[in-house]
Structure 1
């Protein structure tokens, strides 16, 4: 049987009839289970799943990469189609999240967290399973859990903050999850936004899986919001892994995408709505 990852929500679309939105969601089919990784904002999830013939009712578990609106906003739409479902997430997905943004002449913290309260979601069928560590959730599929920050160049974006008493502090993104598939060709690492740092994530999952081969990396890398020095060092370190398919999207940014395409050549792919990665057993 094959492993298949299909992007259901992303910022861009390649053909008419699909909907783009700032967000991410991927439909993951394995030999033993079907998973949904994130839900986008909620505008495109259901119509895109219908257009791409990916049945949301068949999903065994929903996994959330982190608690931002563009990854969790579609939960109600998903639960409305699916009915009650187990939701694997870090408990910090429920934190109030903010980003400093221009509002008129000033910079102000704007709410960007999950738009739904826990109680509201549970009454509509969300069955949260709180996971903080690296863990197998179905055969040969793992959530990264909290990712140790080991690199000195992946410093995060100081514009993302959470409340700290009467003030603000940098969001630690303890809930930044990736989904890891252990396939016959090597690991497939699916990223939400990689707030923990792409290289931190790859070091963590290879160590936890005891597997150095990374067949594919797919999803948002947040390099579009990173300083040029971080991009330079990330690309340098990324080449060590000899990734066969680097399929980026969402928050990677157009300039980093162009550079990744130039430097990784035939191993690079852009992953808009409808992009499918298939790995045969």
Structure 2
């Protein structure tokens, strides 16, 4: 298995660029899966610099319906004419943020979704996308401190409410050496996601946690409780990025100094080599 960070907030590799967003290329079992697409056509620019052929991608998995994970779909559809896009139905719903004091739309591009509806494949149960690599669609709740943001909102049955992120999913690769857990933003809690991965696979050993953890702007108490939760979970490595935030990343680095790596643009992981 090989994993490449195609789009992320930070870029240090020459000739690549960063943006607020996330996209990972996962090569496993003879398949190439794109996990999220970033927020723009930048994924193609970075792919060219990294030797990634987007036209050869077999499948796209969308972690949730925010623009910074789906905005690259427009360009992807232009260069790839066959790969299905797996996502939950609620990822196509209208999503808003009130973080600036004014409600703004942060969901998937409506026009892109309408024009490419035939490419979307709605899933609502555990789905295997290549041998041992599965998409988990339901995230169980284990930790009371892991609550969704109140500034991210949806409209449901004619009323505005905090987004419960019923559209969120994640991927897990089940290997005898341990699990690799792929997370887009972990709006429903990174601890909840890891515990769900362990429950769904029956594998209690986690080799790598890779992606965003949505701890940017989190209270010191929440970050500390998240670390405490991971002290009880057997995780060999962390590849943290995107919405994790510098304070949380530094705390994780202090607690797990030999295990934490920042997964900036161009970072490559081979967990089982």
The TM tier, using the shorter chain, reads over 0.9
Following superposition of structure 1 onto structure 2, how do residues 90-129 of structure 1 map, counting pairs within 5 Å?
90-102=88-100, 107-117=101-111, 118-122=113-117, 127-129=119-121
| Pairing of 1:54-133 with structure 2 (within 5 A) | 54-102=52-100, 107-117=101-111, 118-122=113-117, 127-133=119-125
Partners of 2:214 and 2:244 within 8 A in 1: yes
1:149 CA displacement: 2.1
Among 259, 272, 280, the residue aligned to 2:251 = 259
Q: Report the Cα distance in structure 2 between the residues aligned to 1:270 and 1:140, rounded to whole angstroms.
A: 25
CA shift, 1:84, in A, is: 2.6
Partner Cα separation in structure 1 for residue 85 and residue 13 of structure 2:
31
Pair 1:13 & 2:7 matched = no
Q: 1:137 deviation in Å?
A: 2.3
TM-score between both structures, scaled by the size of structure 1: 0.93
Gaps of 5+ in 1: none
Does the CA-based 8 Å contact 1:185-1:279 persist in structure 2? Answer: no
Q: Distance in 2 between matches of 1:136 and 1:174?
A: 20
The Cα of 1:165 is off from its aligned counterpart by: 5.0
| Aligned length in residues | 272
Instruction: Give the aligned partner of residue 193 of structure 2.
Output: 201
Per the normalisation by structure 2, the TM-score is 0.95
CA distance in 1, matches of 2:201, 2:45: 35
**1:157–1:225 CA contact under 8 A, matched in 2:** no
Alpha carbons 2:34, 2:57 under 8 Å: kept: yes
Where in structure 2 are there 5+ consecutive unaligned residues?
Answer: none
Deviations 1:195-237 (A, max 9, x none): 1101111111111101011000011000113222221111001
CA contact (8 A) 1:183 1:279 kept: no
Q: In structure 2, the residue corresponding to 1:237 is in which secondary structure? A: helix
Alpha-carbon RMSD across the aligned residues, in angstroms, is 1.4
| In structure 2, distance between residues paired with 1:260 and 1:280 | 22
CA contact (8 A) 1:93 1:175 kept: yes
Instruction: Give the Cα–Cα distance (whole angstroms) in 2 for the partners of residues 87 and 257 of structure 1.
Output: 31
Report the Cα offset of residue 187 of structure 1: 0.6
Distance (whole Å) between structure 1 residues aligned to residue 195 and residue 272 of structure 2: 25
Contact 2:210 2:238 in 1 (8 A): yes
Q: CA deviation at 1:166?
A: 5.1
- CA distance in 1 between counterparts of 2:272 and 2:55 reads 24
Q: Distance in 2 between matches of 1:202 and 1:159?
A: 24
CA deviations on 1:224-264 (whole Å, 9 max, x unpaired) are 13222221111001122221110100000011111111111
Q: Distance in 2 between matches of 1:199 and 1:146?
A: 14
Alpha-carbon separation, structure 2, partners of 1:15 and 1:137: 30
Q: Provide the rounded CA distance (Å) in 2 between the counterparts of 1:87 and 1:147.
A: 20
SS of match in other structure, 1:243 = strand
Per-residue deviation at 1:146? 1.9
